[in-house]
Amino acid sequence: MNTRKLGPLEVSELGFGCMNLATNYGPPVPIDDAIQVIRTAYRNGVTFFDTAEVYGPYTSETIVGGALQPFRNEVKIATKFGFDLTDTGGLNSRPDHIKRAVDGCLKRLRTDRIDLFYQHRVDPNVPIEDVAGAVKELIEEGKVLSFGLSEASPTTIRKAHAIQPVAALQTEYSLMNRDPEENGLLNTCEELGIGFVPWGPIGMGYLTQKLDAQTKFDPKSDLRSGFDRFQPRSIAANKPFVDRITALAKKKNATTAQLSLAWLLAQKPFIVPIPGTGKVRHLQENIASSKLVLTPEDMKEIAGALSEFKVQGGRMNEQQMKIVQQ
């Protein structure tokens, strides 16, 4: 697989998102299956794996650490801090908390360094300069190699970058949600030489052709049950949009998911999507998208098709959007 740069980090152009191995999009994946899919990803050229302490909590990091231990030096691992995982809850990016969190992450990941350490959500109670300074100290200690931000605004990115260079910015970006094209995030990353890591690159499963208005999401295990975009009315309203993307994919002998990933890869050379799955067959489908070349004419045709539709339903629920910087 080709490689791309996230700041100083060289990674496979497609990464692997490890969140839903443990939580959030349905029940946890059986441990043996989770390990198998991670190791199959590595054998197929994926060298960038994304997790976070809050996934589980802790479960995803533990799975990733065990699965990648045999070839730790051949891969890059990203994890995230910033949630208070005690009974207090909420956000916590105080420097002392970050420095305690990193030791737990290192232990669960069975490693002596974290390649990319993201602030998971911006903490309004802690100046971003203090957060960047704390991570800078961890980099000086060798526990962390590079600094990332998730769901941060262009202003916050610039403030952090002035203290400690930001290697990567993570946010939702896909054919279903193109906000980064309008809110300055893509332009800011391009200007500052920051990598861009889209989560939800297949629309949180929307662009897999597996959803319809009858699809049920278990509120006990699937966050999407509370997202407006995943309500039956929105799924029905968005069907013509998904059908159009599917038709364009068929013209390229590709699946809807493959076209979605190839479209992201064609947007900018510093974009590294992180699709996640618990199934090897879906992993192999996703990886094949790296071989799908979209011409300028293809991109123009996709842009024309997108302009005919407006996606119904917001990104996440109201509570989660409160901690996303706009």
**Three-class SS of residue 239?**
helix
Residue 326 lies in a domain: no
What is the residue range of 112's domain?
A: 3-321
Residue 33 lies in a domain: yes
User: What φ, ψ does residue 292 adopt, rounded to 5°?
Assistant: -85, 110
3-state percent breakdown (helix, strand, coil) of the chain, nearest 5: 45, 15, 40
CATH number of 147's domain: 3.20.20.100
Residue 110 lies in a domain: yes
DSSP label at residue 115: S
> Token pair 């009858």 is at which residue?
214
Question: Which contacts of 105-108 are long-range, i.e. CB under 8 A and separated by 24 or more positions?
Answer: 105/53, 105/61, 105/79, 105/81, 106/143, 108/53, 108/58, 108/61, 108/62, 108/65
DSSP label at residue 176: T
pTM over cut 0.75: yes
Residue 286 lies in a domain: yes
Q: How far apart are CA 256 and CA 244, in angstroms?
A: 9
> Token pair 């071989």 is at which residue?
291
Number of domains making up the chain: 1
| Known catalytic membership, residue 55 | yes
- Give me the amino acid identity at 231: Q
**Three-class SS of residue 238?**
helix
Is 217:234 a contact under the CB 8 Å cutoff?
no
**Three-class SS of residue 83?**
strand
Residue 232 lies in a domain: yes
Is 156:147 a contact under the CB 8 Å cutoff?
no
Question: Of 55, 58, 118, 206, which one is the catalytic site residue?
Answer: 55
Residue 67 lies in a domain: yes
Residue 105 lies in a domain: yes
**Three-class SS of residue 181?**
helix
In order along its 326 residues, the chain shows pLDDT tens digits of: 999 999 999 999 999 999 999 988 888 999 999 999 999 999 999 999 999 999 999 999 999 999 999 999 999 999 999 999 999 999 999 999 999 999 999 999 999 999 999 999 999 999 999 999 999 999 999 999 999 999 999 999 999 999 999 999 999 999 999 999 999 999 999 999 999 999 999 999 999 878 888 899 999 888 999 899 999 999 999 999 999 999 999 999 999 999 999 999 999 999 999 999 999 999 999 999 999 999 999 999 999 988 999 999 888 878 888 889 86
Is 126:97 a contact under the CB 8 Å cutoff?
no
Tell me the HSE value of 83 on the side-chain side, using a 13 A CA sphere: 18
